[in-house]
């Protein structure tokens, strides 16, 4: 049924709009340099000629060097005065490392290698002791031959004025220019070095991606001076916090006097004992009551083995030996049947004579052996002990002096160090269970304790 809903067709163009165009297929901004690429055209910009101050033309070409990176080639020419200039700039950032190219030029094919030399690159030819410093030339996209020709042009530029003013220097430069021109003939191999801290210079490898035996490429970390030259904020060496030298400093802290409980100061110093270890000497002086005390503590850990030191006292000079008695050290004098237990007299750094005098004072001034409560027989024994101890101090009696320290932190001076002392015997031994118990080592766990620390909530 034709009349049921047929509609006369109208003009197609008017009825529907044209379909939208597809997405643009513009190529990359930086294209590889190729004569066959017709779309790659330089951008022309009108600019001022710095020679005649009239308008010239600057052409910019954004291109990509194979196996290198993107660069911007700029060329200026002035149709009025004929002045022209060409330079290149890296289109990327300054690289993380500097680069040094060392090329051994052996033939004309090496002279035709493409070279990208940036402003910050230094060029050297060791055979002629020739160098082009950094920032003395603009960047250039050229060849090895062009690099040498550019150097020759730069040297010839001011020769007329030099010949008029400094003829001797001009003659030397003429001789050097002749040597540079001989390099272009490659009569003998020479070395070309391009060192660029920015990492943006380049020397072509015609065998890429294979290795080039004539070209050595070295990447290196910039020095602080090179980073400053490039305008970078150089990361200086990390300043290590200065460690306090406690060996040359006496530390003080506030405390109370053990006698009158008045405020007092305790001096503390770290001392290195020769052929032994570091110890901490603490001395307290109370200005209120005049009480003085000193104490020595080991600056190290508990040694793996205990130490027993036996000295045969045969001469009064033995009394001058330096001695370190730690809190864990016991003292024996077999001839007097005397033994001083651990922790008695505390830690001391003194001489052998000083320790024996402290022992005598400790025994003879014991309040339980003085006064009316003293047993007459006991008083006589103490008097006899004191006299024998005085004879030992004066060197009149030969005896043995034994220091036994389970912690291994006591010391008696060896007068023959570093050789063995014939009058002294030092023994190291393995501690017993009871000795470890006294030192609190049996319940101490220094390895694998993390696994047994179960969280308790």
Tens of pLDDT along 337-356?
888 888 778 788 888 998 89
- pLDDT band per the 50, 70, 90 thresholds, residue 111: very high
Evaluate whether 131 touches 123 at the Cβ level (below 8 Å): yes
105 pLDDT exceeds 90?
A: yes
β-pairing verdict for 263-272 and 251-256: antiparallel
* pLDDT mean across residues, the chain: 81
Kindly list the distances between the CA atom of residue 341 and the CA atoms of 51, 172, 300, in Å, as whole numbers in the listed order: 101, 93, 22
32 pLDDT exceeds 50?
A: yes
| Residue ranges with strand state E in 91-226 | 98-105, 114-117, 122-125, 130-132, 140-143, 190-196, 202-203, 215-220
Highest mean pLDDT among 23-37, 86-100, 230-244: 86-100
Burial 57-78 (b: 16+ CB within 10 A, else e): ebeebbbbbeebbebbbbbbeb
Predicted confidence at residue 232, as pLDDT, reads 77
In the structure encoding, which two tokens stand for residue 269, read together? 């110093």
Mean pLDDT of 314-320: 89
Q: Tell which wins on pLDDT, 94 or 176.
A: 176
164 pLDDT exceeds 80?
A: yes
Q: Tell which wins on pLDDT, 209 or 28.
A: 209
Element housing 431 (H / E): none
Q: What CA–CA distance (Å, rounded) separates 343 from 295?
A: 11
Name every residue whose Cβ is closer than 8 Å to that of residue 328 and which is 6 or more positions away in sequence. Answer: 342, 343, 405, 406, 407, 409, 410, 438, 439
Name every residue whose Cβ is closer than 8 Å to that of residue 382 and which is 6 or more positions away in sequence. Answer: 363, 364, 369
Lowest mean pLDDT across 61-75, 169-183, 351-365, 411-425: 61-75
Predicted confidence at residue 283, as pLDDT, reads 85
CB neighbours of residue 88 within 10 Å: 23
Q: Tell which wins on pLDDT, 248 or 436.
A: 436
Predicted confidence at residue 34, as pLDDT, reads 64
Lowest mean pLDDT across 3-7, 63-67, 203-207, 274-278: 3-7
CA angle 35, 37, 42 (to 5 degrees): 85
Predicted confidence at residue 270, as pLDDT, reads 80
Predicted confidence at residue 13, as pLDDT, reads 37
266 pLDDT exceeds 80?
A: yes
Lowest mean pLDDT across 183-197, 207-221, 307-321, 377-391: 377-391
In DSSP terms, 215 is beta-bridged to 103
Helical segments of 394-440, H only = 433-439
Mean pLDDT of 142-160: 89
Q: What CA–CA distance (Å, rounded) separates 254 from 252?
A: 7
273 pLDDT exceeds 80?
A: no
| Sign of the torsion formed by the C-alpha atoms of 388, 390, 392 and 394 | negative
CA angle 98, 63, 27 (to 5 degrees): 130
- pLDDT band per the 50, 70, 90 thresholds, residue 259: confident
| Sign of the torsion formed by the C-alpha atoms of 439, 442, 443 and 445 | positive
Q: Tell which wins on pLDDT, 127 or 443.
A: 127
Predicted confidence at residue 323, as pLDDT, reads 87
β-pairing verdict for 202-203 and 114-117: antiparallel
Q: What CA–CA distance (Å, rounded) separates 456 from 377?
A: 62
Element housing 153 (H / E): helix 144-156
- pLDDT band per the 50, 70, 90 thresholds, residue 403: very high
Mean pLDDT of 23-49: 70
Q: Whole-structure pTM over 0.85, yes or no? A: no
Predicted confidence at residue 408, as pLDDT, reads 86
Mean pLDDT of 72-90: 84
């Amino acid at each position: 049924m034709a009349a049921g809903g047929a509609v006369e067709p109208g003009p197609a163009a008017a009825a529907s709009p044209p379909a939208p165009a597809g997405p643009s297929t513009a190529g990359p901004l930086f294209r590889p340099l190729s004569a066959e690429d017709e779309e790659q055209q330089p951008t022309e910009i009108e600019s001022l000629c710095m020679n005649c101050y009239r308008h010239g033309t600057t052409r910019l070409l954004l291109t990509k060097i194979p196996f290198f990176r993107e660069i911007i080639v700029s060329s200026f020419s002035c149709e009025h005065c004929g002045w022209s200039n060409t330079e290149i700039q890296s289109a990327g950032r300054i690289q993380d490392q500097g680069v040094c190219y060392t090329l051994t030029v052996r033939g004309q094919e090496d002279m035709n290698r493409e070279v990208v030399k940036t402003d910050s690159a230094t060029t050297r030819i060791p055979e002629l002791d020739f160098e082009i410093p950094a920032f003395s030339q603009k960047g250039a996209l050229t060849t090895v031959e062009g690099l040498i020709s550019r150097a020759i042009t730069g040297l010839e530029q001011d020769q007329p004025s030099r010949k008029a003013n400094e003829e001797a220097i001009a003659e030397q430069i003429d001789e050097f220019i002749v040597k540079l021109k001989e390099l272009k003939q490659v009569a003998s191999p020479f070395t070309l070095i391009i060192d660029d801290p920015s990492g943006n210079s380049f020397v072509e490898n015609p065998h890429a991606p294979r290795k080039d035996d004539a070209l050595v490429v070295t990447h290196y970390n910039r020095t602080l001076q090179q980073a400053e030259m490039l305008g970078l904020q150089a990361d200086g060496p990390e300043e290590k916090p200065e460690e306090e030298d406690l060996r040359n400093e006496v530390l003080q802290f506030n405390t109370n006097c053990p006698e009158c409980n008045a405020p007092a100061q305790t001096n503390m110093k770290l001392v290195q004992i020769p052929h032994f270890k570091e110890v901490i000497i603490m001395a307290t002086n109370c200005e209120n009551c005049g009480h003085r005390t000193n104490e020595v503590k080991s600056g190290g850990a508990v040694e793996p083995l205990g130490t027993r030191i036996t000295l045969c006292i045969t001469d009064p000079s033995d009394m001058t030996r330096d001695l370190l008695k730690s809190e864990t050290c016991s003292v024996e004098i077999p001839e007097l049947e005397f033994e001083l237990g651990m922790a008695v007299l505390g830690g001391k750094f003194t001489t052998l004579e000083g320790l024996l005098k402290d022992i005598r004072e400790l025994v003879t001034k014991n309040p339980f052996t003085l006064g009316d409560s003293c047993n007459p027989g006991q008083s006589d024994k103490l008097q006899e002990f004191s006299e024998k101890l005085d004879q030992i101090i004066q060197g009149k009696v030969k005896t043995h002096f034994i220091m036994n320290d389970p912690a291994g932190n006591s010391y008696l001076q060896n007068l023959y160090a570093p050789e063995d002392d014939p009058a002294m015997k030092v023994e190291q031994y393995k501690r017993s269970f009871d000795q470890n118990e006294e030192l609190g080592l049996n319940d101490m766990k220094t390895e694998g304790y993390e696994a047994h620390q179960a969280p308790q909530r």
